[in-house]
Amino acid sequence: MSLRDHSLLSSKNDDADRPPLRLPDHLLYIIVEGVIGAGKSSLAKLLAERQGAQIVLEEFEDNPFLQRFYDDRERWAFQTQLSFLASRFRQQQSLHTRDLFHQATISDYAFDKDRIFARLNLSGDELQLYESMYTLMQPTTPVPDLIIYLQSSTARLMQNIRKRARSYEVNMQESYIESLNDAYNQYFFHYVQTPLLIVNATKIDFVHNVEEFDELIRQVSSLNHSGTTYYNPSPSQLPLL
């Protein structure tokens, strides 16, 4: 064995012996956000597994109006939105009683995101009623220590939506995802309430590529201010989801 080969082998062994990267202990409540198909649930699950953290996933499949909404958005938007608002509020209230067996909580949605959908899908008296209910609920929800926003192109979001092939998303219109993507970008580009990491997730693969996942954790660990940080990683060759 040459000296170079021995050096490479030693380096690999060192990597194998090194404990997996973890998030800083002071981040007790982290939210992963993004438009439909951005990979937020996948990343939240990976982070929770790596941290040994409690995972909170949005209960979107329990919404009895969701399929009808995608079939006829104008007809079922109000019922769908109120059902989501109630479900998300119930989940948020449960977070006040922290799981004693976990140090951290990772969620795949922010309560505030409900308002993004409402303003896109509702209008008139329905929007006013929604805003009244939201205004009463929002101040009682817990504030995250960090939000990770997975930003992606509409084309990539549609690719991921088609790939996972959920029954109620089969007829998802690209124009709706584009409008939603614009609304999310507008919201998070003006977000100032908590520390925010905006990740260009269009071409990375944190699910299958552990190096890219570890680099994302490094980016989170290096955050040293309460504002917004932008992370534009080098792309991998594998699909996001």
Q: What digits encode the pLDDT tens for the residues 138-160?
A: 999 999 999 999 999 999 999 99
For 30-50, what is the mean pLDDT? 95
Specify the pLDDT at position 203: 86
For 185, the token pair is 């970008």
At 49 the pLDDT is 94
Dist CA 19 CA 171 (whole Å)? 44
Reported as half-sphere exposure (CB side, CA atoms, 13 A), residue 53 has a value of: 27
H or E element that contains 76 = helix 73-94
How sure is the predictor about 16, in pLDDT bands with cuts at 50, 70 and 90?
A: low
Smallest CA-to-CA distance from 202 within 147, 154, 148 is with: 154
pTM for this prediction: 0.86
Q: Provide mean pLDDT across the span 176-183.
A: 96
Closest listed residue to residue 24, CA positions, set 50, 43, 46: 50
Cβ atoms of 140 and 93 closer than 8 Å: yes
Strand ranges in 38-171 using DSSP code E only, listed in sequence order: 54-56, 105-107, 146-151
Q: Give CA torsion, residues 192, 204, 56, 92, to 10 deg.
A: 20
Domain boundaries defined on the chain: 24-231
Q: Average pLDDT, whole number, for the chain?
A: 87
Q: Is the pLDDT of residue 97 over 80?
A: no
Whether 125 is a known active-site residue: answer no
Tell me the residue type at 86.
A
Please give the pLDDT value at position 3: 40
Give the CATH fold of the 24-231 domain: Rossmann fold (3.40.50)
Catalytic residue among 5, 15, 108, 205: 108
Distance CA 227, CA 48 (A): 24
